[in-house]
Chains A and B, each alone.
Chain A
């Protein structure tokens, strides 16, 4: 068999080139160094605490997991734009893209290959750090299925992030612009949605509260009722309007999947995004959508990823079909 045995030629090429450069091994080393330091700091703390008090504080274990997951997430959003922003624009600059486009590869296959070469690389990073995540098992409180679920969701978010870089890399001509736009888009897609979620939910709660109080007053109630008097709606603007913004924030998804373990830490139960129901008035815990948080947002991210990759393939297509027909008749 030839060395070129992975089906997508672009995917194979990129992976071998990265191997050759040793880039991936350097990344794995640095990445695990960071993750390892944090993991062992936690373990050291727990062990020392255990020695001095004679009790192991298992309650800290989930926090170790969250910390590691969000640390990896932080590294991921720093690294993925850098890994993706150049994948296609560099081929443009090297003028190899044109040559690739004359081969049997379709623009979609080129984009797809590029996409998976980055995903494989990040996947390798994450897998290499799984032993550290698994340290959490040492003291129990989390099972392997749950850990795999977290890794899977993490990879979906990685795809969503990678698609942004690939999209800019396909649309823009130079790598510099693509790098800048990728980082901007990645950061905005996190902070903007999260801020909108918090902001919109807060404002809606405030308005609803004001209206409610007014109605109570108008109806002659002089003090706050814990039960809504009949004839007065509890809220006018649905409080759920802010939820989609949270759904589009990868941090929330990651939190939901990491935290949804169903046990108490101190006074706090671990129920994923359900806690929003406790934070905002009129949103209530235990609703069906809290339980579907991870599946719904993962679905959204996959959809957006697919859309951005489609846009990338469209941008690369030198002979776009759309609007071609009427142009044909116009000339002459």
Chain B
């Protein structure tokens, strides 16, 4: 569906995007994660035609679209990290106006606008001035605006920022709902765990480069790998345990502190249990076998800081 390849963007001498590559499949609710200044907004703005790239390609359904404004505009919807509302309009007029910018007018359009308001739970505010909406409501109205032309891909730039937990929850429900209709949605955030319950895939961007991309399951696995398995064995069996663990290819590194072995393990949960049973069958008395649930947040932090370390080494 959406494919970004070798995208570059410079602001003067500063390189904001460096060989950015990302792929989003049809119907995905895709999380686009990165810390402040990573280049999320820059990427999105290029994808919706608000910014010229300095090289690279963006294709939608295999077609290069950045040079065709009308085509691009009808394929993508964009909800920026600001509102952009006309205070003199009611919610309904606001949607009608944006529909008209896509050449959509008439009875069907009015019905569609009402449906959209219903979708974002603003149907009771239909005739309220946009000025009279709360932050969360404005955010939802902007979401509806991004949908007036039924775009194939919807870009949402940090839609949850500034919303209270209740509004966040509502927004998530709306997005999940939309996604269930098959709409491709790309949502940026600087908090990876926030996207956990919602997204099917994520891409993690750091310093203008996508450093990790995968399904949520893969990301969870990667996170799990971050934390070692802690195995407590009888004091005199440390060497035996070492010998057994060495046999496993999935064991990267073993360190001992007292009688607690810390094992960096890259296998799956199933392989984890094989490891345990192997220890037991070699008559190692396992007193404790435990793996800390590594959080996505720490994975994210590790990736970002790891990248920094790598960059520092390269420099």
Contacts and interface: CB of A to CB of B under 8 A. Distances in A.
B10 interface: yes
A9 B97 CA distance: 7
A106 interface: yes
A20 B107 contact: no
Given A2-B110, A331-B8, A99 B55 contact: no
A96 B85 contact: yes
A180 B96 CA distance: 34
Contacts of A4: 96-97, 99-100, 105
Interface in B16-59: 48-52, 54-55
B82 interface: yes
Interface in B84-104: 84-86, 88-89, 96-103
Interface stretch (A63-71, A125-133, A304-312, A318-326): A318-326
B56 to A, nearest CB: 9
A23 B117 CA distance: 30
Interface stretch (B67-75, B160-168, B235-243, B273-281): B67-75
A52 interface: no
A104 B102 contact: yes
Interface in A259-305: none
A54 B99 CA distance: 66
A106 B83 contact: no
B49 A324 contact: no
A148 interface: no
Interface in A78-105: 94-96, 98-105
Contacts of B99: 4
B149 interface: yes
B109 interface: yes
A328 B73 contact: no
A149 interface: no
B156 interface: no
B189 to A, nearest CB: 20
B50 A102 contact: yes
Nearest to B97: A13
B86 A102 contact: no
Contacts of B110: 2
A17 interface: yes
A3 B78 CA distance: 25
Contacts of A101: 49-50
B66 interface: yes
B50 A103 contact: no
A1 interface: yes
A227 interface: no
A21 B88 contact: yes
B88 A100 contact: no
Given A2-B96, A104-B149, A318 B84 contact: no
B84 A12 contact: no
Contact of B102 (A10, A103, A318): A103
Given A327-B54, A331-B55, A2 B88 contact: no
A157 B89 CA distance: 32
A25 to B, nearest CB: 16
B216 interface: no
A222 interface: no
B86 A13 contact: yes
Nearest to A113: B101
B76 interface: yes
B156 to A, nearest CB: 13
A2 B106 contact: yes
B105 A96 contact: no
A283 B111 CA distance: 68
A4 B55 CA distance: 39
Contact of B100 (A12, A21, A99, A102): A12
A97 to B, nearest CB: 8
B70 A17 contact: no
B214 interface: no
Interface string A128-153: 00000000000000000000000000
Nearest to B148: A103
A5 interface: yes
A105 B101 contact: yes
Contacts of A1: 105-107
Given A4-B96, A318-B52, A102 B105 contact: no
A175 to B, nearest CB: 15
A98 B52 contact: no
B80 interface: yes
A319 B54 contact: no
A2 B109 contact: yes
Nearest to A7: B103
Nearest to A321: B67
B97 A331 contact: no
B51 A318 contact: yes
Interface string A1-34: 1111100011011000100110000000000000
Given A102-B48, A106-B69, A331-B8, A2 B84 contact: no
A324 B88 contact: no
Interface string A100-120: 111111100000000000000
Contacts of A102: 48-50, 73, 76-78
A319 B84 contact: no
B145 interface: yes
Contacts of B106: 1-2
A194 B76 CA distance: 51
B101 A318 contact: no
Contacts of A9: 97, 100-101
Contacts of A100: 101
Given A319-B52, A332-B8, A104 B84 contact: no
Given A1-B106, A95-B84, 8 more contacts: A4-B99, A9-B101, A10-B101, A13-B97, A99-B98, A102-B50, A104-B73, A105-B101
In the A-B complex, the 8 residue pairs with the smallest Cβ-Cβ separation, listed nearest first, are A103-B101, A9-B100, A4-B100, A99-B84, A319-B52, A95-B84, A9-B101, A331-B55
